[in-house]
């Protein structure tokens, strides 16, 4: 099977356990069983919010805060990338491409699908409560409507107490 025949797959990740679980689940189901020749080329994409959007405030004093916020977001992004690479190595997936793109996750992931001509986009399901979801709108909802490919939403099993 030629390299070019592999279908591009985009997995969106952030620092949440849900998204790390989604990546792990994807590796276990679409990569590990195929040993050294999985049918997909994996692109792992982390959307790093801009400092301004993360702070969500303008006005006096905001400018002083932004460099600190940005440094923090960069640290998170580096941690997420590290974790993703680690998981790939653990599962013997050596040709994954990990990218950090600044912007809102919804746009970033839909753009990544276009850029890589992905045939499938994988996102984790965030266990947001109803209120937070109403305010944020869910990334998976948005992508399932706007991405030009199939979208798979990986849900973590509910822990039974």
114 domain-assigned: yes
46 domain-assigned: yes
Domain count, the chain: 1
115 domain-assigned: yes
Residue 26 has pLDDT above 70, yes or no: yes
pTM of the shown model: 0.88
C-beta of residue 159 within 8 angstroms of C-beta of residue 21: no
Average pLDDT, the chain: 88
2 domain-assigned: no
CATH number at residue 33: 3.40.50.620
- Sign of the C-alpha dihedral computed for residues 37, 23, 158 and 132 taken in this order: negative
CA angle 65, 74, 15 (to 5 degrees): 110
160 domain-assigned: no
Which DSSP symbol is given to 149?
S
Q: Name the strands in the sheet holding 97-102, side by side, starting at the edge strand that comes first in the sequence.
A: 97-102, 40-48, 7-13, 120-124, 150-154
Could you read off the pLDDT of 61-93 as tens digits, one per residue?
A: 777 888 999 999 999 999 999 999 999 999 999
Domain span at residue 123? 7-52+65-154
1 domain-assigned: no
Could you read off the pLDDT of 86-119 as tens digits, one per residue?
A: 999 999 999 999 999 999 999 999 999 999 999 9
58 domain-assigned: no
């Amino acid at each position: 099977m030629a390299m070019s025949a592999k279908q591009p797959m985009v997995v969106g990740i952030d620092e949440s356990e849900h998204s790390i679980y989604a990546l792990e689940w994807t590796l276990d189901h679409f990569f590990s069983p195929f040993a050294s020749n999985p049918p997909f080329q994996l692109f792992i994409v982390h959307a790093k919010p801009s400092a301004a959007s993360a702070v969500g405030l303008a006005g006096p004093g905001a400018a002083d805060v932004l460099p600190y916020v940005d440094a923090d977001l960069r640290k998170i992004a580096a941690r997420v990338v590290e974790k993703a690479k680690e998981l790939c190595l653990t599962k013997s997936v050596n040709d994954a491409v990990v990218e950090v793109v600044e912007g809102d996750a919804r746009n970033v992931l839909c753009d990544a699908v276009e850029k890589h001509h992905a045939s499938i986009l994988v996102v984790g399901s965030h266990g947001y409560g109803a209120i937070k979801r109403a305010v944020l709108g869910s990334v998976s909802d948005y992508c399932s409507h706007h991405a030009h490919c199939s979208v798979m939403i990986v849900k973590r099993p509910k822990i039974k107490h």
